[in-house]
A and B are shown apart, each in its own frame.
Chain A
Amino acid sequence: MLAYAIQRITVSILIVILAVTALFVMIQFVPGDPANVMLGPRATPELKEALRERLHLNDAFIVQVYYFFTGLLQGDLGVDLTSNRPVLGILIEQVPYTASLVASTLLVTLLGIPIGTYAAVHRDGFFDQASGVVAVSLIAVPPIVIGLYLILFFSVSLQLLPAIGAGEGFWEILLHLVLPTLAIGLTWIGYVSRLVRASMIEVLGQNHVKTARAFGIPNQRILRAYVLRVALPATITVLGVSIGFILSSAVIVEIVFSRPGIGKLMYDAVISRNYPVVMGTVLASTVFIVTATTISDLLNVMLDPRTKDEN
């Protein structure tokens, strides 16, 4: 287990380094002078030279990567080009908004477990078929469309829930989380319910379950014994693999709902070509995703040692 954990974490660190290096490689291919792109056409040559010097753009790219990682180890991610504030500080300010959105999405996703279990137990019944069609639809439709329809229905027509910003104070923050969470989470409720259903059906058909039934153990008790043992690894796997997609959707949803957060920060940085901030958000999201997938892998191996070989 320990050896596996060490191996898994090493690979994760490698992935982060590779991703950031790839970003530097891409910047090398930007047509024209990056300083020109960032400062606009009216900047004086001196200004551009100063910026190039500050961002180490005159050095070879491997030197730039070196500066980035040594800076990173000292907690220095560079300076925002527009506000002159350290990027790390800005990131730390924005992380809680995105983290709370992702956390509430993960929480909502757990609704898929009872739905999937019920569908599996009453296989081919009305609920099973209806939830199957709804789940496939939810999985397919892009979160942006779900988000816009939710705004239309709950904010514009019914005027029940807020559609803009993140709110202040506990109750307001919760209310402001509802629609963005659903916009991302409905898809994953669909996924989890389908997967839990499939794994439950598989288990319920196995010999030891049949034997338990033959011994007269009540169905309820058998279910209770298996629901968590079967549903948990399935859910953890889905969420671990899909945390990247959830974060992706969070970016779009944050912009649609004008919510502050890493996604909004990145979008604004992209629009204004604020490279240091783009770098910081890319690093933050990669680290977040790699950590999440590693944790889900390790959790799964702990719950079911057989999965170790598959990874």
Chain B
Amino acid sequence: MIAQGTNKQTRLTRVRNVIRKLCSTPLGLISVIVVTAFFVVGITADWIAPYDPIKLDIPAKLQGPTAAHWLGTDQVGRDVFSRLLVGTKIASYLAVTAVSIALTIGIFLGMIAAFTSRWVDWSMLLIFDTVRSFPIIMFALTVIALFGPSVNTIIGIVVISTFPSYARLVRTQVLSLRNAEYIEAQRAMGASLPRILMRHIFPNVIGPVMIVASMDIPLVIGVEAGLSFLGLGVRPPTPSWGTILNDGFSFIRNTPWIVVSAGLPLILTTVAFTTLGEKLRDILDPKLRR
């Protein structure tokens, strides 16, 4: 019990150390702030939005930025700023659910691939590579052609197209750990395979996988924006960054501020997550530093 207590404490200090190191550089600090803001706004959007994001106000349509409407209004008079805030809800929801489902599947299958017979391993690799060789938008278009557009379809698309890279990464990591002396020692002491996997291998593979996951979130956000822009993602009138971009694109010649302001949150969050991933990698895995 005592050993476990200290174990937990060291883990906590380790997490605290990582966060302290992250915030010690200006870029790292900014990315931590933006990522935190992204999730906070995602959760509280409905309360902090100054206007109802789907309420029409035709007389006030396509107004420029004013004190009342900070980022102006769109073609049916909806407040662009409120719509962007509420759009964060969809983006953060997708980022969290899609990436965590893909992570779970990827870690599970990667461990299995590393610990089973060669044939299972080989056929799993072939399947992973087939999925990976398929461009995500092409895959998305096909799935949407068959099943119709919805938020769940997007989650499914992202999960299927990203879990193979996690699985492959975990597999490589596990293969390199499998013959490590401390694992052999555990085996000699009669530890079961699930116990070895969960207690000894999992903690060692989770770091690199989290780095890749952080860098995959921009991909998820980009896919949602792209599909919603094409009218194949989130259905109107629900605001999402992609649908707002599309609204702005129709009026790009006369009212460019809609496109400009809808692009900004996309740029901020994607750059912040990528920077966060890079900084995490520098801290957790200096060997990978490039």
Contacts and interface: CB of A to CB of B under 8 A. Distances in A.
Contacts, number: 137
A144 B133 contact: no
Interface of B: 27, 126-127, 129-130, 132-138, 141-147, 218, 221-222, 225-226, 229-230, 232, 242, 245, 249, 252-253, 256, 259-260, 263, 266-267, 270-271, 273-275, 278, 290
A23 interface: yes
Given A137-B271, A198-B290, A18 B130 contact: yes
Contact of A142 (B222, B256, B290): B222
Given A15-B129, A139-B274, A149-B263, A247 B135 contact: yes
Interface stretch (A174-182, A207-215, A285-293): A285-293
Nearest to B227: A252
B226 A252 contact: yes
B142 A270 contact: yes
A169 to B, nearest CB: 26
Given A151-B252, A269-B145, A248 B136 contact: yes
A217 interface: no
B145 A270 contact: yes
Give chain A's interface residue range (CB within 8 Å of chain B).
35 or more
Contact of B218 (A26, A140, A281): A140
A145 B267 contact: yes
Nearest to A273: B145
Nearest to A285: B138
Interface of A: 11, 14-15, 18-19, 22-23, 26-27, 29-31, 133, 136-137, 139-145, 148-149, 151-152, 156-157, 194-195, 197-198, 244-245, 247-249, 251-252, 255-256, 263, 266-267, 269-270, 273, 275, 278, 281-282, 285-286, 289-290, 293
Nearest to A251: B137
Given A30-B146, A136-B271, A252-B226, A148 B133 contact: no
Contacts of A140: 218, 267, 270-271, 273-275
A41 to B, nearest CB: 15
Nearest to B145: A270
B290 A194 contact: yes
A137 B127 CA distance: 32
Given A145-B263, A194-B290, A136 B245 contact: no
Nearest to B242: A144
